[in-house]
A and B are shown apart, each in its own frame.
Chain A
Amino acid sequence: MSKVHVTTRVNGDPVEFLCTPEQTLVDVLRDTLDRTGTKEGCSTGDCGACSVLLNGRLVCACLVLAVESEGAEVTTIEGIATEEGLHPIQEKFLEHAALQCGICTPGFIVATKALLDKHPEPDEETIRYWLAGNLCRCTGYDKIIRAVQDAATTLAHEA
C-alpha cells in the first residue's frame, strides 16, 4: 500500500510523517513518532487508554486514522506537563495514589484535562460520566475521582 504524507502538529511542534491509510493515530504516535505515552488497550473505543485531544476535542486515537490528522493539532500526554514541571492534574494523581500499574493513567489525565478545561468545577457525577469511557482495572476509580476533584480545586485557586 502506498504511503501518504501527513503534516500535523503534535503538542505544538510541527510534525511530518508517512503512513498507510490503515494506520491509526495511536499507531503513528507510538511506532513512527516515538510518543509512547499514549497507550493502546482495546483498539475499539472502549477503554480510553488512547485518549488524545484532536483540535482540542477528546477522542480515542485508536479510532482516528493517522491521515485524518492532516493539518490538525494533536495533544498527547507528553504535552500536558510544562518545562516548569508536572501539571497539577499529574501531581494530584501521584498524591492520591490514583494509579497502580499505570496503563490507564495517560488516558485518564488527558481526559481530565479536557474535562477541567470545559467544566472547571465539576461535581462528582459530572466527573464520573465524563470519565466513563476510561477504564481502570486496578484502582477501583475512587482515588481517581478524588485526584480529579483535588486537581479542580487547585486549578481554581491558581486561576
Chain B
Amino acid sequence: MGSFAYVAPKSVAEVTGLLSEIAGSGSRAQIMAGGTDVLVQLKTVDRSARTLVDIKGLPETARLEIGESETYIGAAIPSAVLNENADLTALFPGLTEAADLIGSTQIQGRASIGGNLCNSSPAGDSIPALIANGAVCVIAGTGGERVLPVEDFVTGVGRNALADDEFLLGLKIPNPGPRTGDAYLRFIPRTEMDIAVAGCGVRLDLDEQGICTAARVGIGAVAPTALLVPKAAEALIGTAVDDAALAAAADACSEAASPISDKRGTVAFRRKIIGVLMKRAGAIARDRAAARS
C-alpha cells in the first residue's frame, strides 16, 4: 500500500480547513468515505503519498432525512444502510437498486453513493439513477455551502467539480409525486459483481390518464461521464409511455452515447444495449408510477 497519514475530523469546518491547508502546502489530501475505491487505488494504481481525511464521522455525511418535499442522503452512508431503510426504498426503488448493485454484500457494508459519485467513474452505478432523480449535490468549502446538479458534477473520467477545499456533504433529491416512478438497470456479462457495460436510470411522472408529464433519463458507461439525455425525456413526455415512445427514447439514448470499445463491449454493442436498457427501465418506471397511485 502507498504511504499515507489518516485523520478523522469531527466537523465540516475542520475538514475544509484541513483540505485547504494541505493543498496550500503543496501536499495531497484525499477524502475517504467507505474506502472501497480509495484503498483499492492506494494498493494498486496510485500509491503516491497523501493524507486521507475520513468524513464518515460527521453528522452531515451520516444523516438520512426524508422530508416533506425532498430527501437528504448523507454522502458517506453505506449502501447497505440505505437498502435497509424501507421508507427510502419505497420512495426511490430505482436509486436504491442502483446502490444495491455496487459490489458484494461486504462492499455494500462500506460503499457510499457519495463515494460512487465523487470517484467519478463513467460506470459508477448510482450516477445515472441520481441524475434521473434530479439529485443535487450539497458541497461544503471554506467559503460555505453550494449546490450543483449531479449531471454537472462529473467533468471527466475520474474528475469532478470539487475545488481543493471542497467536499460532498450529501445529496438532495425531490420526493416522488403521487404518480412518479423510477428505475435503474445495467448490463454486465455476469449476474453479480461486475462493472457496468451500460446503465440507464429513468424517472417519470404520469397524470391521472396515464400520460407522462415529466421525465428524466440518465445513462452511464457509454460516454466519459454519465449523461442526462433530455431528448429521451422529450420522447416520453405527452405519451402513455407505450412501445413507440420507449423506442423513440431508446434511439435518443443510443444517439447521445459516445462509448468506447473494450473487453466488456464494443461501441456498436454499447450503443444498442443502452437503448434496450432505456426501454426496459422506462417500462418499469412507468409501471411503478401507475402502481403508486
Contacts and interface: CB of A to CB of B under 8 A. Distances in A.
Interface of A: 1, 4, 21-22, 24, 43-46, 48, 51, 54, 57-60, 63-65, 67-68, 111, 114-115, 129-134
B40 A44 contact: yes
A4 B109 CA distance: 25
Nearest to B78: A57
Contacts of B27: none
Interface in B36-57: 36, 39-40, 43-44, 52, 54
A157 B214 CA distance: 51
Contact of B105 (A58, A64, A65): A58
A45 B43 CA distance: 11
A4 B106 CA distance: 26
B195 to A, nearest CB: 12
Given A22-B1, A43-B43, A65 B110 contact: no
Contacts of B40: 44-45, 63
Interface of B: 1-6, 8, 35-36, 39-40, 43-44, 52, 54, 78, 80, 103-107, 109-110, 192-193
A58 B6 contact: no
A63 to B, nearest CB: 5
A21 B36 CA distance: 16
A57 B109 contact: yes
Given A57-B80, A63-B35, A64-B35, A130 B6 contact: no
The 7 closest A-B pairs by CB, nearest first: A133-B104, A21-B6, A132-B192, A59-B109, A57-B109, A60-B106, A133-B106
Contacts of B107: 45, 60, 63, 133
Contacts of A24: 1, 39
Contacts of A46: 193
16 contacts: A21-B5, A43-B43, A45-B107, A48-B106, A59-B109, A59-B110, A63-B35, A63-B36, A63-B107, A65-B39, A65-B52, A67-B8, A129-B105, A132-B104, A132-B192, A132-B193
A64 B33 CA distance: 11
A51 B106 CA distance: 7
Contacts of B193: 46, 132-133
A133 B80 CA distance: 14
A49 B230 CA distance: 44
A141 B44 CA distance: 29
A158 to B, nearest CB: 24
B3 A1 contact: yes
A132 B104 CA distance: 6
A132 B106 CA distance: 9
A22 B4 CA distance: 7
B10 to A, nearest CB: 13
Contact of A133 (B44, B52, B54, B105): B105
A129 B80 CA distance: 14
Contacts of A65: 6, 35, 39, 52
A59 B52 CA distance: 20
A48 B104 contact: yes
Contacts of A22: 1-4
Nearest to B192: A132
A46 B110 CA distance: 14
A93 B206 CA distance: 51
Nearest to B7: A21
A45 B6 contact: no
Contacts of A48: 104, 106
Nearest to B51: A21
Nearest to A51: B106
A65 B4 CA distance: 11
Contact of A64 (B1, B44, B52, B110): B110
Contacts of B5: 21
Nearest to B110: A59
Contacts of A63: 35-36, 39-40, 107, 110
Given A63-B35, A68-B35, A133-B104, 9 more contacts: A43-B43, A45-B36, A48-B106, A58-B105, A58-B106, A59-B109, A65-B35, A133-B107, A133-B193
